[in-house]
Structure 1
Amino acid sequence: MSNKKSKNKLNTLRKDATLKTRLINEGIYDNINWDKLKIEEELSKKSVVVKEQLPVIRSNESLLPVWDLKRYAFLLEEKMPHTVNPKLWEQGKMNLNAGLFKVTDKIYQVRGLDLANLSLVKGETGWIVIDCLTSKETAEAAINLANEYFEDIPISTVIFTHSHVDHYGGILGVLSSNTERDIKVYAPKGFTNAVIEENVNAGVAMSRRGIYMYGEVLPRDKKGQIDCGIGKYVSTGTTTFINNVHEISPIANQEYVEKEIDGVVMQFLLTEDTEAPSEMDIYIPSEKSLCIAENCSATLHNIYTLRGAEVRDPIAWAKDIQKAIDLWGDSLTSIFEVHTWPRFGNKYCIEYMEKQRDLYQYINDQTLRLINKGYTLEDVGRMVKLPESLCDEWYNSSFYGTVNHNSKAVYQKYMGWYNGNPVDLNKLPTEQSAKKYIEYMGGEDEVLERAKRSYEDGEYQWVAEVTKQLIYANPENKNAKLLCADALEQLAYIAESGPWRNVYLTGAQELRHGVIQVKRSVITEDVLNAIPLENVLYLFSIRIDGRKAGDFDYKINFIIPDKEEVASAEVKRGIFRYLDNKLAEDAAVTVTMSKDILYEIATTNIRPDSSKIIVEGDICKWQLFLWVQDIINLDFNIMTPVSNN
């Protein structure tokens, strides 16, 4: 089927906003504080030096652009539709402001060329780059944009504010034009370990769920992906990494770490376990400007992110914002962030930081209040509401995180998954219970008819829940899938949060059309090259089928000549365990292979060409090891049972 026909078919299945959805969005529109919005609009455009009109960035390795804002032209051309929450529509328009922006005389930002920002500080010999975007290609474009305006200024230093891929993934793009210079790269304490633990070990699941969260395969139009709240979407270029990162650690009895970097004094406040496990703020005294990393943004952020990650600590988050106020509040005159736009003026900056601080403290404390009254995870998400003194600011809106799922995250942090009711301690598997629910409710036809009536009454969340039972009881029930998709679509249309809209719409799209395969991973060759062999081998540990390998008991040596590393490991009691960076004399088998072959075995389902591996010792032991490696499914089911893959 041609792309045009596929698009037409998709458009015929997508629905308009129902009357109830229209009324909800009209009510939201009527309650917008237009004065607060005007402040944000002015800040999002302030001090533009070079304006990029809907930039498109291409890669030599892909037919499709890795970044394309032209797909969002409809936001500027169309009247606000009923199929988008009006506040998200306005936030989406502001996130189209792209180009080079001035923060102070020595600080600039490139915005709108990726989900995040790339910031530039003028040093004595070149640019000090703060954060590098997601992809090599977008980072190169950002540096080129700056060079076109300032002429060619070399890169002297790179600083990562934290351990999320949209801030380090473009590092080789930043360094590509400065290969002859010895460029130091700084990051907060624990950076490399945090990158590996979050983005590599759980990289397959996180990438799959990230497709939902960021709406990667959705159309860009008034019924599709609009925004992610903190930016448009995640660029789809090449994710890179390096291993020569100098980590900044706290110094005893000092509130911050001060360094002179390329002639610029910088003061680093380590903010561990806030928005990321490894994160830091950067104050530049000469400019009276604070880079507050991702601890403040023009939105409520995520205590828990829908793509999946460890729950963040809202109390640490609030305390570290207060530390920044205590340290630099008397002197700072501007704040710039790694997403969205800067703030200016001492009084306004402090008020902004205080209100962002209080968001996380409030959600934490109010959730605990409800926990101690006996309310459970599902209860607190709907019960915690912000007071007017916090929610009256545009920048505290739920464009990215929401009070609902952040409150649930606080419950999870303190109480875990168990709600205390013994009925829920060991529930039946979802597919098994779904079949019984449908049987008890009168069968598939009866349930579907009732669900249709509920849809007509505007009970979209209930319809989605009921039809999920139908789908899990019978994944072939096409009518249940289509009705569930319709319900999710209406929920998307009223969602203020970009990620909520994206997950609803992606779920609806997969129910209607099936899973669209996306050949993309954060576990790239550049990333694997930059991490130690021990961490590469751990990818085998989390793939091994423990039951199959339960009786194994032997050691394996690995020799990877072009990585210039060796290792010994053992398979025992169903566990593959790294032992040492030395070869074991009593290993049952020793394998020698190139790093490319190792990466292929560790990250794909392709079994290697045996002629490319030198096996010494018991070859059967090596073959058994390969046999117990489980299959990787990059496109596992989310809307239908995983067992139905």
Structure 2
Amino acid sequence: MLRFLVIAVLPGIHCAIGYGLANSMLIEGDDGNIIIDTLESREAATELQKDFQVISSKPVVAIIYTHNHADHVFGAEVLAGNNLSNVKVYSHSKTQKILDATLGIVQQITYQRAARQFGMYLTSENDGINNGIGLNLKYNKDSTSALLYPTNTFDTDRWNLTIAGRDFVLYHAPGETDDQIVIYMPKENVLFAADNIYKAFPNIYAIRGTTTRDAIQWVSSLDLMRNLRSEYLIPSHTKPISGAEYIYETITIYRDAMQFVHDQTVRFMNKGFSPDEIIGNKLIQLPKRLKEHPYLQEFYGTVDWSIRGIFDQYLGWYSGKSSDLNPDAPNVRAQNLIRLGGGSKKVFESAQVAYSEQKYQWCLELTEALCIYPEDLNKSEIIQLQVSTLQKLASLQTSANGRNWYLTKSLEIQGLIEIKPSPAQVTKTILNSSLKKLFMLLSVNLNYHKANDINQLVLFHFQDTNEKFSIHIRNGIADVKYQWPENIQSNPIDMIIEVIKEEIWKQVIARIKNPLTCLSNDEIILKDGNGEITPELVVQFLTFLSMFTSE
């Protein structure tokens, strides 16, 4: 069964509408093909390449990333095909920086939260339906990445390119991401819109965990896009549309909805309202013409989440409500709530009543408190009621993101799934990382309890690349520098770690190689501050490594 519906938008311009999340575009050039965006995994791209090969057997000479999101970049190596070594990868200059950040220090939590938002573990058997702007994100613990890093980047407002006889204008158009670009083909009057517009309300804040997307900056990019007056618009999600006037009107109403939510949120913020008050009192409702427009249905982003995100963007996490300034710990709040309700049995009865009265949000809050402080209740009964509540809340959600989150959490609390990258995925990430990125990861993986009373300066030298790093453990932090101290004699050095090849260190970090084996094979050589090799350094080295654990 084919995974993709490939539409010929114009001669030589094809849009592959995936059974996954994002689309990929094939543009036939004179002596080679250009790919715009590359899907979310090696496995998804392998299927797509078969379809593209049927259309054109010319070699791929260029790949253009519209932005950094995984569903746009993780299939690149596959789609580059046999011409991999000659393929140029174009993007904005910010793309690689963002990739390094998101694939690095917060990868563990972003993987988990993205799995909930996109319903990566949901199937037709457990009510998985879609992602709001696509069917499924085809990425799970068994998937692999085929990412290629950009080779050609720009940091100006626009970049004119001719590739394989085709003319392109790349515009920096920050919206859903800061590195977002839209691509215009002037001769064909085609605009590739990236993720700046899709057939759903814009995702100004993504519950998988992002900073709030700057609504006014996004609006400005939409103005740029509508003023191009393109005849064809090809979003990276959902189907292409045609007709210059229809496209202009669609982009206009999309940007107007975004500005409306932004401006009204700021208006009520300035009146002293908190996000809960703005949303709970329904102070902001889209005007009828916006609310009913097919491109503004809340299948993906929502007005309420946008309000919270915009508030946080301007004023931060604090709502302004005095009781939110220093809230009780969750276990204390749960205990107080249950005591107020007359004990766990009565609170559980109240939760059951709330469920029967379809007050699912209140039932969820009560069952969450009971799970923290169950007293003498059977916890399995609490979990079962919470599961039923999450499923009811999911059924009431218009946004696929919210629906997927509720359903995924219901599977998690039953112990039916565990969301985390597979060991193979973690290992591959480490082996494909630069040394600089790995040392950056060390600082955020320091167990400060183990390092609390330690003051230690450790130097690293990688003999094959001649790269040098220093790590100063002090005050419960790891101060990582991408060089040795300027005056090495004036700094008390505790240990110098000489590594024969950077690959050896990566294998130690990935737990492929035992550090003791590396020492015995002279793949890692330990020296003290005077350059002497002493037996005591082995224990010091192992103690040093033990501080960088998740335990």
Say if 1:335 and 1:370 are closer, same or farther in 2 by CA, change over 3 A. same
Deviations 1:529-561, CA, capped at 9 Å, x for gaps: 554311121111111023432343333333456
TM (normalized to structure 1)?
0.77
Instruction: Name the CA distance, whole Å, in 2 between partners of 1:556 and 1:314.
Output: 45
> Are positions 1:116 and 2:22 aligned together?
yes
Match of residue 162, structure 1, among 67, 72, 76: 67
Kindly indicate whether the alpha-carbon contact (under 8 Å) linking 1:243 and 1:530 is maintained by their aligned counterparts in 2: no
Kindly indicate whether the alpha-carbon contact (under 8 Å) linking 1:242 and 1:530 is maintained by their aligned counterparts in 2: no
1:398 is matched with which residue? 298
Match of residue 302, structure 1, among 171, 183, 203: 203
> Are positions 1:107 and 2:13 aligned together?
yes
Query: How big is the shift at 1:115?
Result: 1.4
Look up the equivalent residue of 1:628 and give its one-letter code: M
2:185 is matched with which residue? 284
Deviations 1:264-304, CA, capped at 9 Å, x for gaps: 211111123x2012111110011100011100011112111
Instruction: Name the CA distance, whole Å, in 1 between partners of 2:478 and 2:543.
Output: 12
2:547 is matched with which residue? 628
Match of residue 499, structure 1, among 392, 401, 406: 401
Match of residue 128, structure 2, among 195, 203, 225: 225
2:275 is matched with which residue? 377
Number of residue pairs aligned between Structure 1 and Structure 2: 526
Instruction: Name the CA distance, whole Å, in 1 between partners of 2:6 and 2:339.
Output: 61
1:82 is matched with which residue? none
Look up the equivalent residue of 1:459 and give its one-letter code: K
Query: How big is the shift at 1:419?
Result: 1.3
Instruction: Name the CA distance, whole Å, in 2 between partners of 1:119 and 1:415.
Output: 40
Kindly indicate whether the alpha-carbon contact (under 8 Å) linking 1:558 and 1:583 is maintained by their aligned counterparts in 2: no
Deviations 1:565-602, CA, capped at 9 Å, x for gaps: 44333323322233225698565231426555544554
Match of residue 196, structure 1, among 93, 100, 123: 100
Instruction: Name the CA distance, whole Å, in 2 between partners of 1:102 and 1:391.
Output: 32
> Are positions 1:465 and 2:365 aligned together?
yes
Match of residue 344, structure 2, among 425, 440, 444: 444
Query: How big is the shift at 1:144?
Result: 1.7
Look up the equivalent residue of 1:134 and give its one-letter code: E
Counterparts of residues 130-529 of structure 1 (less than 5 Å): 130-150=36-56, 152-179=57-84, 181-221=85-125, 224-236=127-139, 237-250=143-156, 256-272=158-174, 274-326=175-227, 328-329=228-229, 332-382=230-280, 383=282, 384-474=284-374, 477-520=379-422, 527-528=429-430
Say if 1:477 and 1:54 are closer, same or farther in 2 by CA, change over 3 A. farther
Query: How big is the shift at 1:175?
Result: 2.3
Instruction: Name the CA distance, whole Å, in 2 between partners of 1:561 and 1:160.
Output: 35
Q: Residue 221 of structure 2: SS of its match in structure 1?
A: helix
Look up the equivalent residue of 2:82 and give its one-letter code: S
Instruction: Name the CA distance, whole Å, in 2 between partners of 1:312 and 1:354.
Output: 19
Instruction: Name the CA distance, whole Å, in 1 between partners of 2:199 and 2:209.
Output: 22
Say if 1:202 and 1:226 are closer, same or farther in 2 by CA, change over 3 A. same
Q: Residue 438 of structure 1: SS of its match in structure 2?
A: helix
Say if 1:465 and 1:599 are closer, same or farther in 2 by CA, change over 3 A. farther
Deviations 1:60-99, CA, capped at 9 Å, x for gaps: xxxxxxxxxxxxxxxxxxxxxxxxxxxxxxxxxxxxxx32
Instruction: Name the CA distance, whole Å, in 1 between partners of 2:462 and 2:371.
Output: 47
Q: Residue 238 of structure 1: SS of its match in structure 2?
A: coil
Look up the equivalent residue of 1:363 and give its one-letter code: V
Identity %: 25
Instruction: Name the CA distance, whole Å, in 1 between partners of 2:241 and 2:459.
Output: 55
Say if 1:594 and 1:113 are closer, same or farther in 2 by CA, change over 3 A. farther
Runs (5+) with no aligned partner, structure 1: 1-52, 56-97, 633-645
Instruction: Name the CA distance, whole Å, in 2 between partners of 1:521 and 1:351.
Output: 48
Q: Residue 287 of structure 1: SS of its match in structure 2?
A: coil
Say if 1:362 and 1:597 are closer, same or farther in 2 by CA, change over 3 A. farther
> Are positions 1:573 and 2:475 aligned together?
yes
Deviations 1:495-533, CA, capped at 9 Å, x for gaps: 111111111111222233354355448965565455431
Q: Residue 102 of structure 2: SS of its match in structure 1?
A: helix
Instruction: Name the CA distance, whole Å, in 1 between partners of 2:433 and 2:418.
Output: 30
2:526 is matched with which residue? 616
1:59 is matched with which residue? none
1:535 is matched with which residue? 437
> Are positions 1:553 and 2:463 aligned together?
no
Instruction: Name the CA distance, whole Å, in 2 between partners of 1:610 and 1:371.
Output: 59
Counterparts of residues 54-133 of structure 1 (less than 5 Å): 55=3, 98-133=4-39
After superposition, the CA RMSD in angstroms is 2.5
Report the more deviating stretch, 301-310 or 516-525: 516-525
Deviations 1:169-195, CA, capped at 9 Å, x for gaps: 11111224323x511111112111111
Q: Residue 286 of structure 1: SS of its match in structure 2?
A: coil
Query: How big is the shift at 1:411?
Result: 1.0
Look up the equivalent residue of 2:183 and give its one-letter code: I
Instruction: Name the CA distance, whole Å, in 2 between partners of 1:334 and 1:342.
Output: 7
Say if 1:393 and 1:599 are closer, same or farther in 2 by CA, change over 3 A. farther
Kindly indicate whether the alpha-carbon contact (under 8 Å) linking 1:115 and 1:233 is maintained by their aligned counterparts in 2: yes
Kindly indicate whether the alpha-carbon contact (under 8 Å) linking 1:549 and 1:575 is maintained by their aligned counterparts in 2: yes
Report the more deviating stretch, 400-409 or 517-526: 517-526
Query: How big is the shift at 1:609?
Result: 4.0
Kindly indicate whether the alpha-carbon contact (under 8 Å) linking 1:239 and 1:527 is maintained by their aligned counterparts in 2: no
Q: Residue 502 of structure 1: SS of its match in structure 2?
A: helix
Query: How big is the shift at 1:562?
Result: 6.9
Look up the equivalent residue of 1:365 and give its one-letter code: D
Runs (5+) with no aligned partner, structure 2: 528-536
Instruction: Name the CA distance, whole Å, in 1 between partners of 2:2 and 2:400.
Output: 19
Look up the equivalent residue of 2:348 and give its one-letter code: L
Q: Residue 194 of structure 2: SS of its match in structure 1?
A: coil
Instruction: Name the CA distance, whole Å, in 1 between partners of 2:10 and 2:484.
Output: 52
Deviations 1:609-636, CA, capped at 9 Å, x for gaps: 421251412334422322222317xxxx
Kindly indicate whether the alpha-carbon contact (under 8 Å) linking 2:459 and 2:497 is maintained by their aligned counterparts in 1: yes
Kindly indicate whether the alpha-carbon contact (under 8 Å) linking 2:120 and 2:138 is maintained by their aligned counterparts in 1: no
Look up the equivalent residue of 1:163 and give its one-letter code: N
Instruction: Name the CA distance, whole Å, in 1 between partners of 2:96 and 2:69.
Output: 11
Say if 1:207 and 1:278 are closer, same or farther in 2 by CA, change over 3 A. same
Look up the equivalent residue of 2:186 and give its one-letter code: P
Look up the equivalent residue of 1:361 and give its one-letter code: Q
Kindly indicate whether the alpha-carbon contact (under 8 Å) linking 1:381 and 1:404 is maintained by their aligned counterparts in 2: yes
Q: Residue 459 of structure 2: SS of its match in structure 1?
A: strand
Deviations 1:432-483, CA, capped at 9 Å, x for gaps: 2211211221111100111111111111111111111111223962222111
Look up the equivalent residue of 2:317 and give its one-letter code: W
Say if 1:433 and 1:472 are closer, same or farther in 2 by CA, change over 3 A. same
Instruction: Name the CA distance, whole Å, in 2 between partners of 1:593 and 1:165.
Output: 34
Instruction: Name the CA distance, whole Å, in 1 between partners of 2:505 and 2:274.
Output: 46
